[in-house]
Amino acid sequence: MSANPDTNSVPPHQFTYVLRLADTALVLGHRLSEWSSRAPTLEEDIALSNIALDHIGQARALYAHAAKLEGNGRNEDDLAFLRGAPQYLNVQLVERENGDFAVTMARQLFYSAFAAPHFSMLAKSCDAEVAGIAGKAAKECAYHLRHASEWVIRLGDGTEESRQRMQNAVDDLWMYTGELFEADAIDGAMITQGVGVDPGSVKPSWDATIDTVLAEALLAKPKSGWMSSGGKRGQHTEHLGHMLGQMQSLHRAYPGVTW
């Protein structure tokens, strides 16, 4: 899928669609990188850094593609480091702070249980670039899901304190899971063109995964209540601005810096 023959620019919807995927991957990758040197064990420190790098790798490929789709000279660094929170289009779930280890694992479980099947479906996108990136990301996310599930089960079915912390994490993050499955006009256009997939169609698979993991972890599934939303339109929780401030400080102080 390349330039739309009816206009002299590429479809802006396609740029936005890819940018949302990129932002979500980068924000989650950066969050996980905050654990480097701080994880509970050396083994987990490396595991979390691996997962962070997987997401940042996905983000880089998606930003490079988005920059090409936009075609006005911005590169992947410009997209990552020179946009503020209102211009970021990631889902709110991934920007939430790491909290304790249970919060990080609940966030990863909720996201990966969505991302693995979502990327699997996107691997059939008619945008060959998106399809290629998604095919690779699907395998990575399937591993992240396994990693997070194992921890949620161990902590849920662990000590009284670990069970309580894990349940709190699941309860606190639950209201950010609804946005994963929302589709707006941009999604609609991309679904129609065969570039994108309907995130809502991932819901049954996500529910099945979450039900299985929570049951095995002896944790209660939260009742479906009010869901927060807006990340994909640039409306964010208070956590994102602080994160971007730190993530972008070097690039903003030394524009174009390399090492």
Partner 1 sequence: MTEAKWPLYEVFLRPRNGLAHKHVGSLHATDDEMALQNARDLYTRRGDVDSIWVVPSRAIVASDPADKDILLEPSSAERKPYRHPTFYDIPDEVGHM
* Residue numbers at the binding site for partner 1 (CB under 8 A): 41-43, 46-47, 50, 143, 146-147, 150, 154
Query: Which one, 89 or 148, has the nearer CB to partner 1?
Result: 148
Taking the least distance from each CB to partner 1, the nearer of 150 and 172 is 150
Least Å distance between CB 80 and partner 1?
Answer: 24
Nearer CB in complex with partner 1: 66/148: 148
CB closer to partner 1 out of 54 and 76 = 54
Q: What does each C-alpha distance from 5 to 9, 72, 161, 185 come to in angstroms?
A: 9, 17, 60, 21
Q: Tell me the closest approach of the beta carbon of residue 151 to partner 1, in angstroms.
A: 9
* Nearest CB to partner 1, comparing residues 47 and 102: 47
Of 81 and 143, nearer to partner 1 (C-beta) is: 143
- Nearest distance from C-beta of residue 42 to partner 1, angstroms: 8
Three-state DSSP string of the chain: CCCCCCCCCCCHHHHHHHHHHHHHHHHHHHHHHCCCCCCCCHHHHHHHHHHHHHHHHHHHHHHHHHHHHHCCCCCHHHHHHCCCHHHCCCCHHHHCCCCCHHHHHHHHHHHHHHHHHHHHHHCCCCCHHHHHHHHHHHHHHHHHHHHHHHHHHHHHCCCHHHHHHHHHHHHHHHHHCHHHHCCCHHHHHHHHHCCCCCHHHHHHHHHHHHHHHHHHCCCCCCCCCCCCCCHHHCCCCHHHHHHHHHHHHHHHHCCCCCC
Smallest distance, partner 1 to C-beta of residue 41, A: 6
Q: In angstroms, give the least distance from the CB of 83 to partner 1.
A: 31
Min. distance of Cβ 147 from partner 1 in angstroms?
6
